[in-house]
Structure 1
Amino acid sequence: MMAEEELRNIIQKCQILDEEDFKGEDFNLFQVAGQKCLEEGHIAEVLEVVENEKNKVIVKSMGWNLAGPLIGCMLKYEHDEIEKERCLKILAKLVELCSPKELALGFLERIEQAASEQIAQTVLLLLKPLQEVLLKLHSKKAYSMGLSLSTILNQLALLPIPHTKQQLQEDKHGLCQCCAALIHFVEPFVREVVDHTETFSEGDYRNLKEELLGFCMKSLKYPLLMADLDQLPEDSVKSPFRQFAAEIIGILQDIKELIPKVFSHYGSKNESWDNEDLSKIDNEQSADCLACLSYIVFVHDCFGLAALPIVFNPAYILQCNIVHVGVLLRRTEESVLSKGLALLENCLLRLEGNSLSVEYLEFKGFIAIPQELVKVMTLCPFESLRKKSLKILQLYIDKFNEEGKYTLYRCLLKTSNHSGVEGYIIQNIKNQIDLSLQKTKGSKFFTGLQLVSLLDIVFSLPEDAETDLLQNSDRIMAALNLLRYLVIKDNENDNQTCVWTELHKIERNFLKPLHTGLNMSRAHYEAEIKNKKENRKDSSSASRNICSLTVAGEKMPNMTIEMELQVLQSALFTFDLIESVLARVEELIETKTKIGSEETTGIK
């Protein structure tokens, strides 16, 4: 029997029945016949059935069964305007007559079952009818809307995010279109919350508001957290994700949840941060969502920060955001790391130099941020982010007063475990000492006895004479340069930095082990060079290697003997450089000591 004939038969049978007399068998026959008609392209016949006034009761009771097959048919005939128009008319009739609850479930089921290449098409097709049926619901409207948004966002999360300008323009997978359509989808529900009256029960209002809040938070996590929200000056068309971000902020503002979420109690001065606190944030709301929200609000100024109450001073804004910055910097994705750096930079630029007291470092968030910046500087595969993190680390240090800087230097020297970073910090210490020596009253932390404990860390070798001098060359050179500066700048009679009273300790813990280490290292590398040169005469040894290199987790190709010799010679050059500065420092110490001794003798 033909599909359209089966459909006519079941229609004729049910036309003479009352609605309460419909049986399960009738529902099944109607669904099977209707589905067959749609699949075989008999769309006109189905349209005729649903538009026939005599079939109103039948369509009202059974029509929702056709929702799934109808959507499949619409996707199939997407480019056939005539058939597509017929399908839209059938869909409109179903929305008009059928149970909103059953239709909503049918639509969501179809969205969930959509193949990856049809997710955007299906969502875009169903958002308008889904909105219409949800607005018809009275009880459980908030729940159904929340379920719909959650289902849609879960499916959209399977789509790749476009990043380049060309990808955004093409929108190959339809994610940008879906984001824009979702804003229109939630508009009437936002209006209901904004315009709620006494007839709108407090429970319904609260539930609807919570579901909208959940939608905003999920959107912040995906796609906004991963998307590039920067707008290039030459781009005349606004970035779709930047526009979506602005709309999300607008919704939060409309439902009066923006300020509470941005300026929450997190970061309060009375709280210290530990794992339990961070876990609490994760349980209450996604830390990623709140971090992304702060980035959008402060970096892109989506709601006019100039209008903020004066109580939100720069230091408080940094307090509120410090944990969010940590959340972003602990991720590895380029787009997320860049957001973390931009948010931190934005907060720091609001502050005056030397304005943060050391008390801020009592909070875990504040003391952890420099360490997170160091990780980005040393481990991030993106050069631009490594450079930016170094710039922001310096900016971060500059915002603290002297005691804060002192504490940060001690912390970073003990925790960075990276010679380049330690060398950079030692250079910072040198600059700070120089500023202190130029002051009439000096400094409590960078002159005098307080400085001694910091110099003890600087003038030491991690493993004494057995320290790997190549791996620690940046730190060693910076320490030698600092010592040379102190010996030249601070006379023995003044001894403002206590370097002269500490000189014996420095010689014992730093200079002598360095001499021994240089001699050991030089002897080792010279022996290796001699061995390599001898082996070079043996052609069979040409493929032998003394080391293998691993860069960013990738094992590099084996080196030839010539390449190995170059590496070994480079190491000797580094030892020569260290030794020359060491000799100059010791020469200065000897000269200064001699002059001081002569001056003392002359006085006597």
Structure 2
Amino acid sequence: MAVDELQAIIQRCQILEEADFKGEDFNLFQVAGQKCLEDGYAAQLLEVIQNEKNKVIIKNMGWNLISPLVRCIFMYKKDDDKREHCLKILEQLAQLCNPKELFLGLLEQIEQTSGERVCQTVMLLLQPLQTVLLKLQNKKAYSVGLSLAMIMNQLTPLPVPYTKQQIQEDKLGLCQCCNAVVDFTKPFVNEVVKNMEKSTEYNDTELKEELLKFCMKSLKYPLLTAQLEELEGIDEHPFRHFAAEIIVSAVKIITHPTELIPLVFLHRKRKNPEWENQEFADIEQKNSADSLACLSYLMVVQHFGIDCFPMVFSPSYLLQCNMTSIEVLLKSCLLRMEDNSLLHQYLEFRDFINVPQDLVKVMTLCPIEHLRKKSLNILQLYINKFDTEGKYTLFRCLLKTSNHAGVEGYVIKNIKDQIHLSLTKACDNTWFTGHHLISLLDLVLLLPEGAETDLLQHSDRIMASLNLLRYLVIKDCESDNQTGVWTMIPRIEQNFLKPLHVGLNMSKAHYEAEIKNKKENKKEAQSPNTVCSVTVSGEKMPAMTTEMQLQVLHSALFTFDLIESVLARVEELIEVKIKAVMDENS
């Protein structure tokens, strides 16, 4: 009988000194203890462990029971009594065993678990692991860091519940487990805080750094992809609670709460010497931009920890500081997707339309050049991810809402690229050929205000439209008419080409007259009392000399000449192709 075998081993070891225990004793104890658990004698094993006479034996050998104990706890899920006895044994081992040996045994169990058992195993072993870590004196920081790293490595492969139903079901237990882990860290956070309160020159930063690493890892997983909006019907949102606890922990263990600012803005080059804290030097190198982006989001959008954030920064400065985070968040999602894989139905959700429109606002209104370029890069990445119908819908939307010639020109270039793919690939793309394309070209091949359109202001759009039309006329034979462009040539001439001719003639005549006038009055314009001011976007620019004004006027004429040159080439190509078809038919 297993209990008898165990008693025999115990009686033999009771009379030995601790130093006299042999490897054979350890093996026999483990086998007999495991057999007791598997045969249902957990109550008897508990009595042996609780017996004061066996204290030295359990201290040295008890950790060997962790592996069979964990297996039996899951095995006895439906037997409350046996499971309860096993849980008490685990609690006793945490109190009695050699902390170093038990620590390794517990970590081994966490490392070996997988799949649906991960969260259950972690939650089962958190309390004994915490008990053991609190007993450790040497290398406590290292052991805490190792434990947290092991736990997060095991959790990270698990999918993060996103919908309300998934969060409520918490099928794998991730929501519950994450909050259990952050509770697990609280005694260690409090220890750091207590030590800092004792001495303003607290230099033992190892435990602090390990805890900060955990906070930063938690920001990347699960918080980066977690649903953090308030959900109706869920009183305490598990991930919102977890996010709040992570921010609180980070704030507590940082020497000064205001030093949360450099954490948020680590990815920027800081010029304020007060922010140059060695405490964060290593963290800056080791933590990813994803974590910092998530931290920015939690503070700026969700307002976690906002009470530690000085409200003295202007909205434009906050945007500048967080543009890197915005870029990281969008790219981290978009780069995981294959091009053309995002279904057009997603554009039925308001946010999927709002994002490109917001990017356009940054591209056109932000005064900082590198941020405008980043927005443009993200917009292109965003466009690339949609299927062809999605791209088509996005292009129509941006043409109607951007109200910016540069953006419209960029969209038209994208339309040209999609038409090129449709004509050169052996696939049937109905969205950038035929009647769908004709509908889109009606938005592209026209002047917004007819002949009176400000050609200089709309030059980017006009040049892109002419280049697109030139491409269509060259690439699509009239006999094939895959794009439908030849069907709409009369409409294009009426709405685009003829008004453009008239507008060019009017604009060139106006600017030539201005140049002549400036030259004639050059002497007067150069007198000290003559001031010419230019207003751009409602803001007055510095006064311009006559020479500078003439340069601007000549530059405008050059733009008109360029437009006129491309226009002439397009009309020539149309005429040649139509004549060739007429000759064939005659």
Per the normalisation by structure 1, the TM-score is 0.67
Matched, 1:325 2:331: no
Separation in 2, partners of 1:71, 1:209:
31
> Does the 8 Å CA contact 1:120/1:178 hold for their aligned counterparts?
yes
Aligned residue identity for 1:251: S
Matched, 1:375 2:381: yes
Deviation by residue 1:366-391 (Cα, 9 ceiling, x = unmatched): 31322322332342359999979997
Matched, 1:466 2:474: yes
Q: Note closer, same or farther for the CA distance 1:429–1:201 as it changes in structure 2 (3 Å cut).
A: farther
Q: Note closer, same or farther for the CA distance 1:209–1:122 as it changes in structure 2 (3 Å cut).
A: same
Deviation by residue 1:42-91 (Cα, 9 ceiling, x = unmatched): 11121111110101111111111112221222121133222222122212
Percent identity over paired residues? 42
244, 248, 268: which is aligned to 1:266?
Answer: 268
Structure 1 window deviating more from structure 2 (117-126 vs 486-495): it is 486-495
Matched, 1:308 2:307: no
Q: CA deviation at 1:158?
A: 3.0
Computed over aligned residues only, the root mean square deviation of the Cα atoms, in angstroms, reads 4.9
Does the residue aligned with 1:460 lie in a helix, a strand or coil?
Answer: helix
Corresponding residue for residue 124 of structure 2: 125
Q: CA deviation at 1:489?
A: 6.7
Q: Note closer, same or farther for the CA distance 1:346–1:135 as it changes in structure 2 (3 Å cut).
A: farther
Separation in 1, partners of 2:187, 2:53:
34
Does the residue aligned with 1:330 lie in a helix, a strand or coil?
Answer: helix
284, 287, 295: which is aligned to 1:285?
Answer: 287
Q: Note closer, same or farther for the CA distance 1:487–1:262 as it changes in structure 2 (3 Å cut).
A: farther
Q: Note closer, same or farther for the CA distance 1:14–1:203 as it changes in structure 2 (3 Å cut).
A: farther
Separation in 2, partners of 1:353, 1:266:
20
Separation in 2, partners of 1:386, 1:511:
27
1:328-367 matched pairs, under 5 angstroms: 328-332=329-333, 356-357=366-367, 360-361=368-369, 363=370, 366-367=372-373
> Does the 8 Å CA contact 1:161/1:227 hold for their aligned counterparts?
yes
Structure 1 window deviating more from structure 2 (123-132 vs 499-508): it is 499-508
Q: CA deviation at 1:9?
A: 1.3
Per the normalisation by structure 2, the TM-score is 0.69
Separation in 1, partners of 2:78, 2:89:
17
Q: CA deviation at 1:519?
A: 8.3
Separation in 2, partners of 1:393, 1:108:
58
Does the residue aligned with 1:196 lie in a helix, a strand or coil?
Answer: helix
> Does the 8 Å CA contact 1:460/1:509 hold for their aligned counterparts?
no
Deviation by residue 1:529-583 (Cα, 9 ceiling, x = unmatched): xxxxxxxxxxxxxxxxxxxxxxxxxxxxxxxxxxxxxxxxxxxxxxxxxxxxxxx
Corresponding residue for residue 65 of structure 1: 64
Corresponding residue for residue 569 of structure 2: 509
Separation in 2, partners of 1:330, 1:35:
51
Aligned residue identity for 1:260: P
Corresponding residue for residue 247 of structure 2: 249
Q: CA deviation at 1:177?
A: 1.0
Q: Note closer, same or farther for the CA distance 1:169–1:44 as it changes in structure 2 (3 Å cut).
A: same
Q: Note closer, same or farther for the CA distance 1:322–1:180 as it changes in structure 2 (3 Å cut).
A: same
Separation in 1, partners of 2:388, 2:65:
52
Aligned residue identity for 1:294: S
Matched, 1:492 2:506: yes
Q: CA deviation at 1:16?
A: 0.8
Corresponding residue for residue 442 of structure 1: none
Q: Note closer, same or farther for the CA distance 1:268–1:490 as it changes in structure 2 (3 Å cut).
A: farther
Corresponding residue for residue 536 of structure 1: none
Does the residue aligned with 2:217 lie in a helix, a strand or coil?
Answer: helix
Q: Note closer, same or farther for the CA distance 1:484–1:173 as it changes in structure 2 (3 Å cut).
A: farther
Corresponding residue for residue 153 of structure 1: 152
Separation in 2, partners of 1:126, 1:479:
77
Separation in 2, partners of 1:288, 1:226:
10
Aligned residue identity for 1:94: L
Q: CA deviation at 1:168?
A: 1.5
> Does the 8 Å CA contact 2:445/2:492 hold for their aligned counterparts?
no
Deviation by residue 1:186-231 (Cα, 9 ceiling, x = unmatched): 1112222223247689787411121112112222222222222233
Separation in 1, partners of 2:400, 2:205:
46
Deviation by residue 1:418-468 (Cα, 9 ceiling, x = unmatched): 4689x999979999x87xx89xxxxxxx765x8657744442246474235
Separation in 2, partners of 1:391, 1:510:
27
Corresponding residue for residue 192 of structure 1: 191
> Does the 8 Å CA contact 1:38/1:73 hold for their aligned counterparts?
yes
Corresponding residue for residue 539 of structure 2: none
| Unmatched segments (≥5 aa) in structure 1 | 271-279, 399-404, 439-445, 527-604
Corresponding residue for residue 79 of structure 1: 78
Corresponding residue for residue 93 of structure 2: 94
Separation in 2, partners of 1:183, 1:521:
76
Q: Note closer, same or farther for the CA distance 1:198–1:177 as it changes in structure 2 (3 Å cut).
A: closer
Aligned length: 491
Q: CA deviation at 1:124?
A: 1.3
